[in-house]
């Protein structure tokens, strides 16, 4: 029986890398970020509702959502974040459910890649939760480098989510990503081996 696994983490924890590695192992990934973009794509009802709620500035010169503007508004005004969520979340849910059902019918194990899984209390919608774990200090360092943020800006984004250590206690399984990408790959494969998703393979180089 195929399983539905919720994959989550904290911002800059390395979840996207884990999704790519899981795809290589035959899992089908349903990505909440991709669904969110589809929900407000150019010409959609979702984008029209965002424009009505956030004004003309919410649409860029190409007729697409001005993510920088909307992001700044919701980051500084919690009530506008709630309003955006009320528009986008139901559409995202429908898109993700349709993809998930299609993959399950085809017999695949499905990864539901959801950054804010715990924040949105979606853990009961999946069979189990896998968390990509790193330390808060590494999250902050990666964010500063990746997004060219100051330490204060990076901390604000990290602290806007449930702490990674609390998520670690809530998850069913943890994938450690505090070291290199090679270590991450090995940690993930150890978990897949432990849970029976892959079989132990003898390294040809050792023969």
Q: 129-151 pLDDT, tens per residue?
A: 999 999 999 999 999 999 999 99
Would you place residue 200 in the very low, low, confident or very high pLDDT band (cuts 50, 70, 90)?
Answer: confident
Give the annotated binding-site residues for ATP: 12-17
pLDDT at 205: 46
Domain with CATH 3.40.50.300 in the chain: 1-27+109-196
Judge whether residue 206 has pLDDT over 60. no
pLDDT tens track for 32-82: 999 999 999 999 999 999 999 999 999 999 999 999 999 889 988 989 999
Quote the pLDDT of residue 182: 96
Whether 192 has a pLDDT exceeding 50, the answer reads yes
pLDDT at residue 199 greater than cutoff 90: no
Residue 119 token pair: 């924040």
Q: How far is CA 53 from CA 59, 74, 80, in A?
A: 11, 12, 9
Mean pLDDT value across the chain: 93
Annotated binding site: 12-17
Does pLDDT of 201 surpass 70? no
Model confidence, pTM:
0.87
**In the chain, alpha helices (H):** 15-24, 32-39, 45-54, 67-76, 78-105, 136-147, 151-159, 164-170, 181-194
> How far is it, in rounded angstroms, from Cα 12 to Cα 14?
6
Cα→Cα distances 50→60, 61, 73, 134, 151, Å: 12, 15, 12, 34, 31
CATH homologous superfamily for 1-27+109-196? P-loop containing nucleotide triphosphate hydrolases (3.40.50.300)
């Amino acid at each position: 029986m195929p399983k539905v696994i919720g994959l989550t983490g904290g911002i800059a924890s390395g979840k996207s890398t884990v999704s790519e590695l899981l795809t290589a192992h035959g899992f089908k990934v349903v990505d909440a970020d991709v669904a969110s973009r589809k929900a407000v794509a150019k010409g959609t009802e979702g984008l029209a509702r965002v424009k009505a709620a956030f004004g003309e500035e919410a649409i860029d010169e190409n007729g697409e959502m001005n993510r920088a503007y909307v992001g700044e508004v919701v980051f500084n005004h919690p009530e506008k974040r709630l309003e955006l969520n009320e528009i986008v979340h139901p559409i995202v849910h429908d898109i993700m459910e349709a993809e998930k059902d299609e993959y399950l019918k085809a017999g695949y194990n499905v990864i539901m890649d959801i950054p804010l899984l715990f924040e949105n209390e979606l853990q009961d919608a999946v069979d189990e939760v896998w968390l990509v774990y790193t330390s808060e200090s590494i999250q902050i360092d990666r964010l500063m480098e990746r997004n060219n943020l100051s330490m204060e800006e990076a901390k604000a984004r990290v602290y806007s989510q449930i702490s990674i250590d609390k998520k670690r206690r809530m998850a069913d399984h943890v994938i450690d990503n505090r070291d290199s990408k090679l270590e991450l790959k090995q940690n993930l494969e150890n978990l897949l081996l432990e849970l029976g998703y892959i079989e132990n393979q003898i390294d040809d180089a050792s023969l």
